[in-house]
Structure 1
Amino acid sequence: MKKLLLCLFLLSAGAAFAQVAQAIKKDFEAIVAYTHQKNMDKVIDMTYPRIFTVMPKAQMKDMANGMLDGMGIKTIFEEVPLMLKLSPVKKLNNAAICLGRYNQSMVLEFANPALADMMTKTQMKGTVTEKIGDNKVRMKGTQYLLAIKDSYTGNSWKYLRYDDEDAATNARILSKEIIAAATQLKTALKIVK
C-alpha cells in the first residue's frame, strides 16, 4: 500500500511539474513574440517587478520604443527557430526559478553607415555581428530569460533578461540565493546543446 501511495504521489508531482514547465515555456514564447512585435506594454506586464525599482516602467517603455529610433537605427527582429531550452524548475527558500536559453537574430539598419561599421567592430559576448549591407548589420546569438516566482511577483511567474550585460542590474534586484542558483542553471544550459 505504501508503494502504491508513493507511486501515485510521484505521478501527481511529475504531472504538476510538467504543467508548470509547459506554462513557463508558453510564457517564454509569448514574451519573445511580444518583444519582436515591439509590444512593450505586454512585455512590461510579464517583467519581474523589482526591475522597476532600478528603471521605472515609463522609462523602460520609452527606451525600448525610442532609444534606437532616436539615434537613426531601425531594429528588425528576424524570425528564426527559438531552439528554446529550459532548465528544471529550481525551488529555493523564498522563490522558484527556471532559466531559458533561446536563439535571437535581428537586423539593425543605420541612417549613418559609419555606425554600421562601428557596430560590426564591437564585440559582444555570445553574439555574432556581421555586416550585410552598407548600412545594415545582423546580430545573432543566444539569449537567456529567467522565470521567477516569489513574493514580489504575487506568487506568479515573471521574467527577467539574464544575459551577461544585465548582470550589474540583476545583482541590484535579485537575492544572492537567486543569482547563485541562476548561475548554476546557466552553466548547465551552456553544456546542453
Structure 2
Amino acid sequence: MKKLILCLLMPLQITAALAQDSKIIQKDFQTIIGYTRKMEIDKVLDMTYPPLFKIMPKAQMSAMAKDALSGMGIKTIFEEVPIGLTLSPVTKLGAATICLGKYNQSMILESSQTALLDMLAKAKMRDNEVKKVSPGKLRIKGKNYLLAIKDTYTGSTWKYLRYDNEDAETNAKVLSKEISAAAVKLKLALK
C-alpha cells in the first residue's frame, strides 16, 4: 500500500518542481532582459551558461559586447516594448533540464556615420527586422530566444544561453547533442 501511495505522489512532486522551475525561469528572463536594456553586460554574463566561456573567456566576451553596443561611433538604445514572453514547458532530459523562452526586443542604433547604418540596414537577420528610421537611426526589432539550462555545468541552478539563429554555430559547440535536439523541438513548438 505504501508503494502505491508513493507512486501516486511522485508525479505530483515532479509537477510541483517543474512549476517552481517555470516561475524561477520567468523571473530570471525578466531580470536578464532588464540587465540587457540597461547594458549591464557583466550581470548578464553572470547568468550565462558557463560552457560558453570555454570558447571565449568571460572578460574578453564582456569587453567585446560593450564595444559592440557602444563602439564604432554607434549608440545603442533598447526600446521599451511589451516583452510578450512565451515559455516552453520545462523539459527534463537525461542529464539536464531545459526551457526555451521567446520574447520581443527592439533597439535603436544611432550614428552620424550614415554609411555604416546603411550597411547594417542591408544585413540579413533571420529572427529580426532591420529598418532605417531616419538617416542617423536604425531599428532592429524582432523575436529573440533564450535557452534556460540546469545541469552539472550550472551547479544545478538555472543559467541561460542566447538561442537565436545567428547563435547556432556557437551553440553547437557548447551544447550536448541531447540538449541541442530537445531545444530544436522546443523552438519549433514556440514559433
Q: Specify the TM-score bucket, using the shorter chain as the normaliser.
A: over 0.9
Listed as ranges, the matches of 1:11-22 within 5 Å are: 11-22=12-23
Q: How does 1:103-182 map to 2 (within 5 A)?
A: 103-182=104-183
Superposition deviation, residue 175 in structure 1: 0.6
Which residue is equivalent to 2:68?
A: 67
Cα offset, 1:70, TM superposition: 2.4
Give distance in 2, aligned partners of 1:70 and 1:47: 23
Superposed CA offset, 1:73-111 (max 9, x none): 110000101100001111111111100000000000123
- Measured after TM superposition, the shift of residue 169 of structure 1 is 0.6
Q: Does residue 76 in structure 1 map to residue 81 in structure 2?
A: no
Identity percentage over the alignment? 59
SS, match of residue 81 in structure 2: coil
CA distance in 2, matches of 1:12, 1:171: 33
Q: How many residues align?
A: 190
Cα distance, 1:40 vs. partner?
A: 1.5
Gaps of 5+ in 1: none
CA distance in 2, matches of 1:65, 1:158: 21
- Which residue in the other structure is 1:38 paired with? 39
Q: In 1, Cα distance between the equivalents of 2:95 and 2:101?
A: 20
Partners in 1 of 2:92 and 2:30 — Cα distance? 22
Q: Deviations over 1:97-151 (max 9, x none)?
A: 1000000000001230111222222221121111111110011000000000111
* TM superposition shift of 1:186: 0.3
- Between 170-179 and 64-73, the greater mean CA deviation after superposition: 64-73
Give the distance between the partners of 1:74 and 1:68, measured in 2 at CA.
Answer: 7
What is the root-mean-square deviation in Å for CA atoms of aligned residues?
1.7
Q: Which runs of 5+ in 2 are unaligned?
A: none
* Secondary structure of residue in 2 paired with 1:147: strand
Matched, 1:55 2:56: yes
- Alpha-carbon offset, residue 183 of structure 1: 0.3
Amino acid aligned to 2:173: R
1:189 matched residue in structure 2: 190
